[in-house]
Amino acid sequence: MPKRSVDNFLLARWRETTATAALKALADHAVEDRTFKPLASKNTSRWHASVGGHDFELLCTGSRFFDTRAKTGGGGACYATEDDDGEVYWWLKGVSTKTDEGPTEWMIPPAGVKAIELMERWAKPYQSAIQRELEILRGADPLDPVIAEAAAHQSALFLGAPAHNPGLVRTLSTSSWNENLNEYAHRHGLTWDFASHQFRRKFANYAARSRFGDLRYLKEHFKHWTMDMTLGYALNEAQEMELFAEIEDEMIDIKRGVVKDWLDPSEPLAGGYGTNLVAWRGGEGITMFKDRKAMVIAIADSTAIRSNGHAWCTADDDLCVGNDLEKTRCAGGCDNAVVGRVHAHVYQGMYTDLKDLASLDDIGPGGAARVSRDLARCRGALQTLGYDPELAAA
């Protein structure tokens, strides 16, 4: 079937059409569920529709929709999917020019969806300005090459007009972004020379740290980045692979930095694996490697390393109870655990709390035995790391 072109007025109307308006126009039957109470956006409504003998339950917000039964949606720059456990994942559609990857998608948090909604409204006057420019250009010369250049910016969200030519609206350039970032930073007393690519690199670093169990950076607003990357690939094949490669590079750097500290002769280590490392690094095994750098790389690249907050775990999986239910197990000689000085404050805190528990007379013989065991584990780890637990607890 040959493609049909439409005039710009009709195209603009289509772009502004809401999902509910399209549903009413296209469905055989559509009725709104008035009992529905939205949990996120107050502008969301639920509709029951019938099309071609098939029934649908749709959540509509502006130009976006979500099919609750198929667990997928679309419309606008964002769309959502839902897994079997009811977790909703939001995706941002765009075009990546960094590696000529072309159309691609990124997983974003709900806050990102709200930001895009805001930008869609903010961009409308600028998009209208480009529309007027196109009408003037086509009226003067339909073959003007500027028409194609201007049309390429019409659907962009981050638009602006340069100070030297305020009547020309185009997508913000990298230099414009960097200039705006630094103006914003200087207004807030920051002296750092910002560049937009630094945010991408920092995100890769945060995501890599989250895979090591350090959830402080992402747990509040980007929880899904803690999952294994292979699951990330399975969720959406259109994701930008270059970003995953940058995250993997950051992970390699973090792992090698951790191993470098482990192999420092002045660095005390507790835990079963840590104790073995201390004995090994003082022996003849190091002569197996060409130099120290080669040794660090070899060990880091061949060892599973992740942080559980109170130790580094080198087990192939995360099934050990020492990762959560029995934290002192890592300090009690677990063969897969490395406890460093960075974890000392955790064991000092547990030691202080355990001493308070030990003073209670209503925890029973089993509870008293558990407290005594865990106190010994924390005390041993702290002493190995060069700390006196009694001084800190006093």
Question: Residue 187: is its pLDDT beyond 90?
Answer: yes
Q: What is the pLDDT of residue 141?
A: 93
Question: Residue 148: is its pLDDT beyond 80?
Answer: yes
Q: 348-361 pLDDT, tens per residue? A: 999 999 999 998 98
Instruction: List the structure tokens of 169.
Output: 């609206």
Where exactly are the structural domains of the chain? 8-108, 112-172, 173-239, 251-393
Q: Which amino acid is at 4?
A: R
Q: 34-62 pLDDT, tens per residue? A: 888 876 567 788 899 998 888 888 888 77
Instruction: List the structure tokens of 136.
Output: 């003037």
Question: Residue 375: is its pLDDT beyond 70?
Answer: yes
Could you tell me the pLDDT band of residue 339, with boundaries at 50, 70 and 90?
A: very high
When mean pLDDT is compared across 2-16, 95-109, 223-237, the lowest value belongs to 223-237
**Over residues 173-181, mean pLDDT:** 88
Gap between the Cα atoms of 74 and 66, Å rounded: 7
| Total residue count of the chain as it appears in this document | 394
Q: What is the pLDDT of residue 351?
A: 92
When mean pLDDT is compared across 92-106, 184-198, 214-228, 230-244, the lowest value belongs to 214-228
Q: What is the pLDDT of residue 222?
A: 39
Q: 254-266 pLDDT, tens per residue? A: 888 888 888 888 9
**Over residues 263-291, mean pLDDT:** 79
Gap between the Cα atoms of 229 and 310, Å rounded: 23
| 364 φψ region: left (φ > 0), alpha (ψ -120 to 50), beta (else) | left
197: closest CA among 183, 181, 184? Answer: 181
Could you tell me the pLDDT band of residue 214, with boundaries at 50, 70 and 90?
A: very low
Helix (H, G, I), strand (E, B) or coil at 362: coil
Structural contact between residues 342 and 214, judged by C-beta atoms closer than 8 angstroms: no
Structural contact between residues 305 and 258, judged by C-beta atoms closer than 8 angstroms: yes
Please tell me which residue, 276 or 39, carries the higher pLDDT value: 276
Report the half-sphere exposure of 230 (CA within 13 A, side-chain side): 0
**Over residues 132-159, mean pLDDT:** 90
Q: What is the pLDDT of residue 10?
A: 60
- Most confident region among 69-83, 147-161, 193-207 by mean pLDDT: 147-161
Could you tell me the pLDDT band of residue 20, with boundaries at 50, 70 and 90?
A: confident
**Over residues 259-278, mean pLDDT:** 89
Average pLDDT, the chain: 78
**Over residues 358-375, mean pLDDT:** 90
Structural contact between residues 181 and 194, judged by C-beta atoms closer than 8 angstroms: yes
- Most confident region among 16-25, 97-106, 194-203, 337-346 by mean pLDDT: 337-346
**Over residues 117-146, mean pLDDT:** 90
Q: 299-338 pLDDT, tens per residue? A: 777 777 888 888 888 887 767 777 777 888 888 878 889 9
Please tell me which residue, 285 or 96, carries the higher pLDDT value: 96
**Over residues 166-186, mean pLDDT:** 90
Gap between the Cα atoms of 128 and 159, Å rounded: 11
